[in-house]
Amino acid sequence: MKKAALKDDRYTYRVTWSEEDREHVGLCAEFPSLSWLAPTPEGALRGIRRLVARVVADMEAGGESVPEPLASRQFSGKFLVRVPPEVHRMLAVEAAEAGVSLNRLASARLAQ
């Protein structure tokens, strides 16, 4: 079987330990339904990268749109977060007491 490889692989990969499987698991953020188990972290990364390459090739062959890598996406820096009214009030009071905007307080908290 030919090893699949993406020419310009810019997808976001992560390798973690699976206690349940007692192996390392390779994951790809852009393809959350895919994973690859291997005894070593290196094997898990190699496996998930090959699997993603095969899936991308299949999608392209079938005329499907392929997910854009997170690294290539442009982000505005804005997103909406819904919180309970009492949390909103608490954060607004905390921001006012600190002399900063609610946006600055929330941004600082998210960056921690």
Q: How confident is the model at residue 4 (pLDDT cuts 50, 70, 90)?
A: confident
User: Do the bridges between strand 35-38 and strand 23-28 make them parallel or antiparallel, or are there none, so unpaired?
Assistant: antiparallel
* % pLDDT > 70, the chain: 97
Give 58-97 as a 3 state SS string.
HHHHCCCCCCCCHHHCCCCCCCCCCCCHHHHHHHHHHHHH
pLDDT at position 3 over 80: no
Of residues 50 and 7, more confidently modeled: 50
Q: How confident is the model over 32-61, as pLDDT tens digits?
A: 999 999 999 999 999 999 999 999 999 999
How many Å apart are CA 74 and CA 71, to the nearest integer? Answer: 8
